[in-house]
Amino acid sequence: MSAAAEALADNAATFTPTGDAVIDCDLKRVFYGDFLAVRNSHVPIEKGKITGFIGPSGCGKSTVLRSLNRMNDLIPSFRFEGHVKYHGQDVYGKRVDPVIVRRYIGMVFQQPNPFAMSIYDNVAFGLRLNRVKGNLDERVQRALERAALWKEVKDKLNKSGLSLSGGQQQRLCIARAIATEPDVLLMDEPCSALDPIATRQVEELMLELKARYTVALVTHNMQQAMRVADTTAFFGVDISQGGRTGYLVEMGATRQIFEDPQQELTRQYVAGEFS
């Protein structure tokens, strides 16, 4: 059991991680109100790997990603059938506190969204929220170092996080997300608002982070999935019932998905025949 998992077990008696799998996500049906947004998507997230989610717009990539750490709880019309298990434990268990879930399954969003506070306080935010013990200065520095931002900001920690460039802001958000030592990092198109240089920096950072964290990444960019993902899940949209329902078409090693897909739809998508 990882240190994070042990700490989680201390925090929630009903949420004691056990097995080796990091997240076992099996979404049979996901609804927003009456709208069936996603069906039949079993998406295990393997330890120490980057799992990329690709597919056309509206196929449910973000819905699935946000289900992993209960981010969709914030949407009243959201409900699902199936399960999401973290180290074998039900993430949606009645007595499980979503704040604790999100401490160990952290998230980085599409738009860099630093809080309107200092660089230091941005990184310390989650540590204070979760009343993490230990030397705050050391933890903030460590998170900024791991996010490859420390050298650029160490002399201006009291400056606003909003004063940084877009790429720096996104690395600050990554530092904020990893400060609480999560087990898993969910990244929802983290580079879509960045220029190519900042994108490359964040991609390099992802590759470094996976030595320490398990990563799940939604990306519109197939080249990005090829560059960084170990495993790729391809989602499609089923319009046969008159709706638009996303589903998992195929999941496998990234090289296999791009070079030897087993499904014709995957082949067409990775060949750029539709988007």
Residues that bind ligand ATP (CB under 6 A): 32, 35, 37, 55, 57-63, 75, 77, 244, 246
2 vs 192, which CB is nearer to ligand ATP? 192
Q: Which residues of 25-46 are buried (b: 16+ CB within 10 A; e: fewer)?
A: bebeebeeeeebbbbebebebe
State whether residue 258 is helix, strand or coil. Answer: helix
Shortest reach from residue 272's CB to ligand ATP, in Å: 16
183 vs 189, which CB is nearer to ligand ATP? 189
Q: Rounded distance, CA 176 to CA 36, Å?
A: 34
Contact 50, 230 (CB under 8 A): yes
Q: Rounded distance, CA 9 to CA 15, Å?
A: 6
Contact 166, 198 (CB under 8 A): yes
Shortest reach from residue 209's CB to ligand ATP, in Å: 22
152 vs 238, which CB is nearer to ligand ATP? 238
88 vs 98, which CB is nearer to ligand ATP? 98
Structure tokens at 5: 């998992």
Shortest reach from residue 176's CB to ligand ATP, in Å: 22
Shortest reach from residue 58's CB to ligand ATP, in Å: 4
